Amino acid sequence: MKHIETLLSEMTIEQKAPIVKILGLKSNENKLVIEKLSKILLPVGGLWQTPLNYSQFVEKIASANNEKIDFSLGIANAEKELYLKLFQQEFEKLTEEEKNNIYKELEKAGLDKSQIKSLSGISALGAAQLSGFGIYLLASSTLGAITSVLGITLPFAFYTGMSSVISFVIGPVGFLVMGVLVYRSFKNVKSWDEAFDLLKASWNGIKAFAIGDTTRSTLVFKYFAATRIVLTENFRNQIDENSSKIDIKKTNISKIDIEINEKEAEIENVENIKVEQLNVVSSIESEILKKQDELKSVNNQIGQLNEKIDSFKNNIQERINNKKSIENEILNSENDTKLKLSKIEKLNN
């Protein structure tokens, strides 16, 4: 029962509630569900008998409903094949008038022609030809019908991920999954509340419908098969959503990368301009150093010239002083001459 154990591990307490109720269990422990399922189709409740594995369980359900299933592609495909064939059996029991009424209900539910053809094609093309969309609709309505019959409410988002299916899930096809007799009792129901009121009024009949072990086993099988389809589709939708989010994030990253590259290009351009300016600065600094050396040389020359000027000035001052000394000597000599002439004049007068 590994195939069922894996499914149960992905189901919530609410999703397992219909199974617990159908099997008459007091607990929703996976171990108890599997144990009950492995013995429900055995005589005397499976006492002193080897429990069935899931493949044997599916094979017995198929045999009880006069269906042959191909197990060569694995238990998952066999489960889906039997699930669709059981619906096909019920569909083919309908009169043409009832089938046409179902098509009309599908149109009222808002499904387009391709979606209706996907479901109506079960009878004409066989279960294997049903589209993935049709399988999902069928599985969603199976869960909706079974839970409503049992008076159990699941979060609506669990068994329909598309707004166009809302009316369809509470329509007649869901009850057809449970069998033609149930369909004919509930085909005019328009809402879950109305369905549940009708169910409470005829609860004894519903209980009689689910008394037999084969009947209960078939109902459990349909619920498990439908749940697996819906969970798988929900996971795929979540994967698609994640993929979309990832794509958006990757697009944002690409945009950011482009912006980063543009900024890095701008930085590189500015860096190049900076290098050019630094080269200009270096050139100017070199010229400044050269001019400083020239200035120093000129200052040295000026210093030397100042020294020469000072030397010349000192020499001139010496000459001036020497001139004054000579002039004084001349003056003294002239005075002496005048004195001598005066004396001569006196002597000769």
Q: What residue segments make up the domains of the chain, in order of their start?
A: 2-252
CA 237/CA 146 separation, integer angstroms: 24
pLDDT category, 129, cuts 50, 70, 90?
A: very low
Among 119-133, 221-235, 300-314, 328-342, the minimum mean pLDDT is found in: 119-133
pLDDT category, 87, cuts 50, 70, 90?
A: confident
Q: What pLDDT sits at residue 158?
A: 54
Q: Is the pLDDT of residue 298 over 50?
A: yes
Q: What pLDDT sits at residue 174?
A: 54
The rounded mean pLDDT for the chain is: 80
Q: What pLDDT sits at residue 97?
A: 81
pLDDT category, 86, cuts 50, 70, 90?
A: confident
Give the pair of three-digit tokens for residue 59: 């094979």
More confident position, 160 or 257: 257
Biggest CA pair distance of the chain: 199
H-helix or E-strand spanning residue 183: helix 180-186
Averaged pLDDT for residues 73-92:
87
Q: Which range has the top average pLDDT, 186-190, 206-210, 215-219, 298-302?
A: 298-302
Instruction: List, for residues 196-231, the tens digit of each pLDDT value.
Output: 455 445 444 444 344 337 878 888 999 999 999 989
Q: DSSP label at 65?
A: T
Among 79-83, 156-160, 208-212, 276-280, the minimum mean pLDDT is found in: 208-212
More confident position, 99 or 346: 346
More confident position, 123 or 5: 5
More confident position, 100 or 248: 248
Q: What pLDDT sits at residue 163?
A: 38
CA 71/CA 75 separation, integer angstroms: 6
pLDDT-above-90 percentage for the chain: 47
Q: What pLDDT sits at residue 318?
A: 94
Averaged pLDDT for residues 149-175:
52
Averaged pLDDT for residues 265-281:
97
Q: Which range has the top average pLDDT, 86-95, 168-177, 228-237, 291-300?
A: 291-300
Determine if the pTM surpasses 0.75: no
Alpha helix ranges (H) inside 65-111: 75-92, 96-108
Q: Is the pLDDT of residue 120 over 70?
A: no
CA 261/CA 240 separation, integer angstroms: 31
Q: Is the pLDDT of residue 160 over 60?
A: no
Q: What pLDDT sits at residue 145?
A: 73
Among 12-21, 36-45, 77-86, 335-344, the minimum mean pLDDT is found in: 36-45
Place of tokens 């990757």: 250
Closest CA to 162 of 102, 86, 236, 249: 236
Instruction: List, for residues 33-63, the tens digit of each pLDDT value.
Output: 999 998 888 875 556 678 899 999 999 999 9
Q: What pLDDT sits at residue 218?
A: 87
pLDDT category, 111, cuts 50, 70, 90?
A: low
Averaged pLDDT for residues 71-75:
91
CA 121/CA 92 separation, integer angstroms: 11
Q: Decide if 61 contacts 221 (C-beta within 8 A).
A: yes
Give the pair of three-digit tokens for residue 332: 């003294």
Among 35-49, 149-163, 285-299, 331-345, the minimum mean pLDDT is found in: 149-163
Q: Decide if 13 contacts 27 (C-beta within 8 A).
A: no
CA 207/CA 211 separation, integer angstroms: 6
